[in-house]
């Protein structure tokens, strides 16, 4: 994807986001008391800026980009990395409170190492998963007094 096409798509998405935002702000935030003014103004501003970006990119000759910026080349498997990272975070969030910090961390770290990093050394995977979760539990939970969920399905106290 050339930077020009990419920027056109970005401008279109930003414009769409701005329009949806304006609509939501208009219909859901009660008028009066000034609660609606700022979100509405920001939404309109984003719509205008996105439109300017779109028009600029539409008129731009194919060869150059006046910003002088070159898009970082897409990596092979970039989409997988994005989905894997965001997916791990969401799964982590889902497991965190039901299972508690230690079991959910062991599971997520092991899953990342096996499926995302494609490591195949059982000892390294086990050491990393157990070491990280216990280490973080001791440092953050015990030493620094951060609240880490003990788990609602099973509860582990150390």
Partner 1 sequence: MDAFFSAVPLIFNGPVLGAIGLGTVIGLVFGTIPGLTFTMALSLALPLTFGMGTMPAIALLVATYIGGMTGGSVSAILINIPGTPSAAATALDGYPMRKNGRASLALSLAVLSSTFGGLISLLIMVVSVDFVSKLAIEFGPAEIFALVVFGMSTICGLAEKSLLRGTIGGVIGLMLMTIGLDEISGAPRLTFGTVTVEQGINLVVAMIGLFAVPHIITTFGAWRAGRQVQPNPDDVRVELPSLGLLKRTFWLAARCAGIGTVIGAIPGTGGPIAAFISYDHARRFSKDKARFGKGAEEGVIAPETANNAVTGGTFIPLLSLGIPGDPATAVILSGLLIHGLFPGPTLFSEHPTEVYGVYLSIILAYVVILFIQLVGIRFFVKILMVPPHLLTVAITVMCVIGAYAIRDSVFDVYTLAALGLMGYLLQRVNIPITPVVLGLVLGPILERNFRQAMILSEGHYDIFYKSPTAMAFFALAVIVVGLQAWGTMRAGARARQETARLPAREKEA
Listed residue (72, 84, 51, 68) closest to 1, CA to CA: 72
Q: How far is CA 120 from CA 97, 117, 133, in A?
A: 29, 9, 20
Asked if 125 and 113 touch (Cβ cutoff 8 Å), the reply is: yes
Overall size of the chain counted in residues? 158
Q: Which is nearer to partner 1, 30 or 157 (CB)?
A: 30
Instruction: Determine which residue in the list 12, 19, 29, 126 makes contact with partner 1, applying CB under 8 A.
Output: 29
Scanning residues 135 to 154, which ones bind partner 1 (CB under 8 A)? Answer: 136, 140, 144-149
Q: Does 66 bind partner 1 (CB under 8 A)?
A: yes
Q: Alpha-carbon distance 145 to 139, whole Å?
A: 8
Site string for partner 1, 40-59 (x = CB under 8 A): --xx-xx--xx-xx--x---
Scanning residues 104 to 123, which ones bind partner 1 (CB under 8 A)? Answer: 105, 108-109, 112-113, 116-118
Beta carbon of residue 81, minimum distance to partner 1 (angstroms, whole number): 3
């Amino acid at each position: 994807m050339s930077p020009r096409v990419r920027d056109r798509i970005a401008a279109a998405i930003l414009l769409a986001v701005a329009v949806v935002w304006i609509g939501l702000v208009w219909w859901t935030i009660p008028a009066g008391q000034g609660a609606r003014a700022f979100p509405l103004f920001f939404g309109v501003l984003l719509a205008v800026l996105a439109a300017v970006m779109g028009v600029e990119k539409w008129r731009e000759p194919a060869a150059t980009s006046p910003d002088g910026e070159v898009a970082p080349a897409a990596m092979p498997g970039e989409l997988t990395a994005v989905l894997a990272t965001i997916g791990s975070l969401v799964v982590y969030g889902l497991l965190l409170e039901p299972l508690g910090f230690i079991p959910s961390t062991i599971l997520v770290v092991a899953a990342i190492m096996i499926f995302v990093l494609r490591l195949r050394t059982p000892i390294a995977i086990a050491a990393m998963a157990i070491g990280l979760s216990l280490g973080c539990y001791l440092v953050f939970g015990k030493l620094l007094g951060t609240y880490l969920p003990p788990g609602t399905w099973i509860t582990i106290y150390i």
